[in-house]
């Protein structure tokens, strides 16, 4: 090889080496972390060095990881916010998986959820919602107003859903991806109740979907929502529901998943707990509270529901149209004894038309239990009371001028309702009021209500979170609602009508106070008690602090049970510590 060729060859090799060095010297970008459904995991324990020479002992401390196993009686059917109303298991799962535009607190006040703000037009007809910045579905897609219009449009098109009539009368106008206006034919503040229903992700459904199609849609097997948990499996295939904590909703989570297992009975669930197969329970039937409390290491947490029991008086009935009878029945009713004898103590007595936590309850006076006053009032009104202590001759009254007081108590047939009714009849008998039970299956019960074929009806009320009671007590509701007792009070009716056309609670409250006074004066019904809901957690669930039981917040809705979830642990580990003296 010539010298010249050798020089050119060396120059070429040098150029290649320089080029490779230049490429390798360019700063490389940091790798981008992939999105993950795994929550931020809390550290298992803080390491503290043990001084030399100290005696070392082992200690068991809470550790991160594992699954919380929750037992429920029943099974899912449609864990879908549009289909869950009739199944308690579905309602629990929906509350954890989905959000509406708003939510309600324990006092019945609307709070932000998917909508961070809302405003009402000057004429009160249009309410405009602005969606929360950064709100996303569990698959990472953004929540938009198209989802809102899609969800409520399904209800309007169906025509048979409980909310269909409302949405058929409303105009839903997505202004942009984050702003939606809903216009109504007249001001109607309980629309906030309707928009607390969970929203569906429009991007996973065909545009032609109907509500009937949704019942058989595979979406229900592994629902996609926006809640604090996301669905981690196909429950229909696996036979259980696995929920994963959403990373953005929590910090320092110490449990990987929550698994819901389903049982045919409370007894079967109790056996599973005793065998160490479940850690906690949701939905404890009142008659099985003693069974659950007897489980080793089980702590039971109870809080009031909005659901309540009430005695409805037939205001057109031959006997109960008499106010002295209604008042005497109230005086003769020991609500606390009913709760103890019929509900295993699982209830809270209250008075008035609204449960005590409701902002609309106001200063409703408490009903009093006074048997002597009940007897005196009925005798003064001329009723013949069937008491051993007060026979006709002893009271020196004319048998032909008095009427024996006997009432018919209507109820839906169930063991619990029958215990409630029998306890009431026994109490009323103590003041000389005779009574008989009329027990029906649900269909014939409602027919009897509508026909007014009762003196008193035991009704179980599931009110809205919003305090609107227009469909229960207005004059219009006598003909087109649930005012089955026929209470015809113009002042009360107008107060309810005015309250539902005003948006701010402080402006609605005076109208509800007017209603409350009319309700107390006329006594068209006697409220008995709020039902309570019970949640149990076993001692296999530890507090991250390791020095106290797991803390539980006030439970207004199923999601509240998990408010302190970051502090829960189900795993443990052994560490070395300085021995105690």
Question: What residues pair up with 280 in beta bridges, in sequence order?
Answer: 70, 537
Angle at 544 between CA 541 and CA 545, to 5 degrees: 125
pLDDT of residue 393: 35
Q: What percent helix, strand, coil does the chain show, rounded to 5?
A: 35, 25, 45
In this structure, are residues 546 and 519 in contact, taking their beta carbons and an 8 Å threshold?
no
pLDDT of residue 285: 85
Both tokens of 78, joined, read 């449609």
pLDDT of residue 444: 96
In this structure, are residues 344 and 532 in contact, taking their beta carbons and an 8 Å threshold?
no
pLDDT of residue 387: 56
Three-state helix/strand/coil letters over 538-573 = CCCCEECCCCCCCCCCCCCCHHHHHCCHHHEECEEE
pLDDT of residue 42: 44
Tell me the backbone φ, ψ of residue 218, rounded to 5 degrees: -60, -15
Which is it for strands 241-245 and 229-231: parallel, antiparallel or unpaired? antiparallel
pLDDT of residue 384: 76
pLDDT in tens, the chain (581 residues): 443 443 334 344 344 334 334 433 433 333 323 333 334 444 444 445 666 667 778 777 888 999 999 999 999 999 999 999 999 999 999 999 999 999 999 999 999 999 999 999 999 999 999 999 999 999 999 999 999 999 999 999 998 899 999 999 999 999 999 999 999 999 999 999 999 999 999 999 998 999 999 999 999 999 999 999 999 999 999 999 999 999 888 888 899 999 999 999 999 999 999 999 999 999 988 888 888 889 999 999 999 999 999 999 999 999 999 999 999 999 999 999 999 999 989 999 999 999 999 999 987 889 999 999 999 999 888 887 765 444 433 444 445 444 678 999 999 999 999 999 999 999 999 999 999 999 999 999 999 999 999 999 999 999 989 999 999 999 999 999 999 999 999 999 999 999 999 999 999 999 999 999 999 999 999 999 999 999 999 999 999 887 778 888 888 899 999 999 999 999 988 877 778 76
Class of domain 36-89+229-298+538-581: alpha beta
414-428 confidence digits (pLDDT tens): 999 999 999 999 999
Where along the chain do the CATH 3.90.76.10 domains lie?
A: 99-226
Where along the chain do the CATH 3.10.105.10 domains lie?
A: 305-532
DSSP-derived 3-state class of residue 536: strand
CATH code for 305-532? 3.10.105.10
Residues 6 or more apart whose CB falls under 8 angstroms from that of 504 comprise none
pLDDT of residue 51: 65
pLDDT of residue 403: 60
Cβ-based neighbour number of residue 6 at 10 Å: 10
Where along the chain do the CATH 3.40.190 domains lie?
A: 36-89+229-298+538-581
Angle at 201 between CA 199 and CA 203, to 5 degrees: 155
Question: What residues pair up with 234 in beta bridges, in sequence order?
Answer: none
DSSP-derived 3-state class of residue 491: helix
pLDDT of residue 581: 63
Using CA atoms of 369, 375, 376, 380 in order, give the dihedral in degrees to the nearest 10: 130
Cβ-based neighbour number of residue 77 at 10 Å: 14
Which is it for strands 67-73 and 280-282: parallel, antiparallel or unpaired? parallel
DSSP 51: P
Which is it for strands 179-183 and 542-543: parallel, antiparallel or unpaired? unpaired
The closest alpha carbon to 99, from 230, 212, 191, 255, belongs to 230
pLDDT of residue 386: 65
DSSP class per residue in 166-228? HHHH-EEEEEETTEEEEE-SS--TTHHHHTTSPPP-GGGS-TT--HHHHHT-GGGGS----SS
DSSP-derived 3-state class of residue 20: helix
Domain 99-226 has CATH 3.40.50.970: no
The closest alpha carbon to 221, from 212, 230, 233, 210, belongs to 233
What CA–CA distance (Å, rounded) separates 23 from 466? Answer: 66
What CA–CA distance (Å, rounded) separates 2 from 7? Answer: 9
What CA–CA distance (Å, rounded) separates 364 from 43? Answer: 51
């Amino acid at each position: 090889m010539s010298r010249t060729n050798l020089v050119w060859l060396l120059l070429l090799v040098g150029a290649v080496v320089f080029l490779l060095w230049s490429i390798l010297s360019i700063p490389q970008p940091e790798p981008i972390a992939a999105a993950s459904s795994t929550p931020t995991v809390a550290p298992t324990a803080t390491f503290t060095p043990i001084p030399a020479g100290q005696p070392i002992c082992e200690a068991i401390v809470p550790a991160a990881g594992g699954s919380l196993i929750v037992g429920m009686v029943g099974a899912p059917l449609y864990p879908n916010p549009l289909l869950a109303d009739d199944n308690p298991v579905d309602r629990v799962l929906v509350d954890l998986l989905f959000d509406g535009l708003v939510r309600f607190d324990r006092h019945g006040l609307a709070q932000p959820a998917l909508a961070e703000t809302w405003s009402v037009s000057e004429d009160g007809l249009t309410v405009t919602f602005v969606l929360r910045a950064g709100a996303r579905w569990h698959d990472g897609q953004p929540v938009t107003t198209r989802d809102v219009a899609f969800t409520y449009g399904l209800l309007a098109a169906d025509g048979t859903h409980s909310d269909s009539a409302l949405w058929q009368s409303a105009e839903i106008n997505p202004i942009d991806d984050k702003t939606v206006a809903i216009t109504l034919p007249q001001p109607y503040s309980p629309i906030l109740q309707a928009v607390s229903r969970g929203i569906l992700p429009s991007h996973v459904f065909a545009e032609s979907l109907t509500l009937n199609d949704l019942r058989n849609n595979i979406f229900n097997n592994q629902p996609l929502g926006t809640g604090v948990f996301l669905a981690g499996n196909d429950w229909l295939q696996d036979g259980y529901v696995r929920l994963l904590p959403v990373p953005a909703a929590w910090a320092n989570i110490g449990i990987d998943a929550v698994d819901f297992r389903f049982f045919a009975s409370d007894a079967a669930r109790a056996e599973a707990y005793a065998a160490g197969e479940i850690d906690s329970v949701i939905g404890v039937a009142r008659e099985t509270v003693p069974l659950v409390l007897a489980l080793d290491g089980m702590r039971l947490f109870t809080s009031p529901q909005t659901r309540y029991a009430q005695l409805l008086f037939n205001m057109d009935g031959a006997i109960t149209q008499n106010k002295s009878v209604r008042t005497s029945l109230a005086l003769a009713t020991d609500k606390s004894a009913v709760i103890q004898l019929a509900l295993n103590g699982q209830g809270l007595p209250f008075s008035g038309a609204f449960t005590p936590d409701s902002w609309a309850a106001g200063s409703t006076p408490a009903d009093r239990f006074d048997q002597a006053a009940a007897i005196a009032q009925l005798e003064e009104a001329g009723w013949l009371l069937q008491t051993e202590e007060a026979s006709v001759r002893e009271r020196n009254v004319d048998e032909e001028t008095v009427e024996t007081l006997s009432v018919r108590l209507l109820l839906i047939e169930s063991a619990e309702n029958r215990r409630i009714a029998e306890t009431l009849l026994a109490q009323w008998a103590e003041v000389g009021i005779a009574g008989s039970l009329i027990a029906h299956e649900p269909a014939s019960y409602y027919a009897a209500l509508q026909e007014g074929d009762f003196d008193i009806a035991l009704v179980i009320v599931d009110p809205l979170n919003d305090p609107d009671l227009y469909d229960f007590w207005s004059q219009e509701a006598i003909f087109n609602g649930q005012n089955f007792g026929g209470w015809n009070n113009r002042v009360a009716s107008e107060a309810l009508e005015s309250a539902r056309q005003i948006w701010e609670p402080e402006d609605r409250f005076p109208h509800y106070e007017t209603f409350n006074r009319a309700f107390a004066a006329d006594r068209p019904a006697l409220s008995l008690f709020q039902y309570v809901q019970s949640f149990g957690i076993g001692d296999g669930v530890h507090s991250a602090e390791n020095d106290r039981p797991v803390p539980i917040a006030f439970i207004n809705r199923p999601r509240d049970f998990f408010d302190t979830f970051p502090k829960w642990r189900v795993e443990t580990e052994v560490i070395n510590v300085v021995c105690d003296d």
